[in-house]
Structure 1
């Protein structure tokens, strides 16, 4: 399978939207047009340090994506990378798509001067965690979330 990964383009909206909706469905999160439009605008807003990579098959169809962004690290006094979202169509998993996405993410982070990229995943995302254990170092940090109402 001939794969490619590149930054998301304006003409990729339909593929990106289908992939993103499948991703949020996996996590049982709500989705609507307003959220989709907001995220799309972040990706193409030159003032936001928010990015999207899109993996495509040999026909140019989107089969996977990554959302990532710059994140300040006050303890280091510099920006680092944060991977927010990663999804690959189930039928394309195991084909090298994730490796190619991470290789491209690594190059992007290097170009931006980030010393590392951090991410979190669901505890029960066993398949994803098996991949991450090969690609990265698991940190000692536990993640907490405080809801603000």
Structure 2
């Protein structure tokens, strides 16, 4: 049976390799020191919430990272589901679905109005998971970004 729990700074060495692999999935260079630094900063500054999936033996299987944001229009807290990653060796075992359900419960427990996420156009497996959980594709707004 797998364990799902909130990560702490003590879990940095468990999460960093998964985060580095997540970045590789999105075509970034494998950089474990950068992954460790980034996750360490988020956890130490309490800028994100990370839900960690572990095996009973303590092996890190996957994680989901949430950032608190706010909707001015709705005047409500929302959570940005920024990162979801499950180790290749345990994909297809329902871990991502369970992490998503834990994220939903976290959002409810914190009084958020909704969860928001984005994924690559080509990531059809993730899209199928999100849609099976009731996520709706936004057809109203266009999202833009600006590198600074």
Q: TM-score, normalised by structure 2?
A: 0.89
1:147 equivalent to 2:144? Answer no
1:53 maps to which of 51, 54, 64:
51
User: Partner of 2:136 in structure 1?
Assistant: 137
DSSP-derived class of the 1:18 partner: helix
Mean Cα displacement is larger for which, 134-143 or 87-96?
Answer: 134-143
Tell me the equivalent position of 2:14.
Answer: 15
SS of corresponding position for 1:60: coil
Give SS of 1:128's match: helix
CA displacement at 1:143 relative to structure 2: 2.8
Aligned twin of 2:115: 117
Equivalent of residue 92 in structure 2, options 94, 97, 117: 94
SS across alignment from 2:65? strand
Aligned length: 145
Greater Cα shift, 30-39 or 70-79? 30-39
- How far apart, in 1, do the equivalents of 2:142 and 2:120 lie? 12
3-state SS of paired residue (1:39) = helix
In 2, Cα distance between equivalents of 1:35 and 1:17: 5
Q: 1:13 to 1:32 in 2, by over 3 A?
A: closer
- State the Cα RMSD in Å: 1.7
Deviates more, 1:12-21 or 1:23-32: 23-32
Offset at residue 104 of structure 1 (A): 1.1
Q: Which of 136-145 and 60-69 deviates more?
A: 136-145
- Pick aligned residue for 1:127 from 125, 128, 132: 125
Assess, with a 3 A threshold, how the Cα gap between structure 1 residues 125 and 45 changes in structure 2: closer, same or farther: same
Does 2:33 match 1:33? yes
Unmatched tracts of structure 1, length 5 or more: none
Match of 1:43 in 2: 43
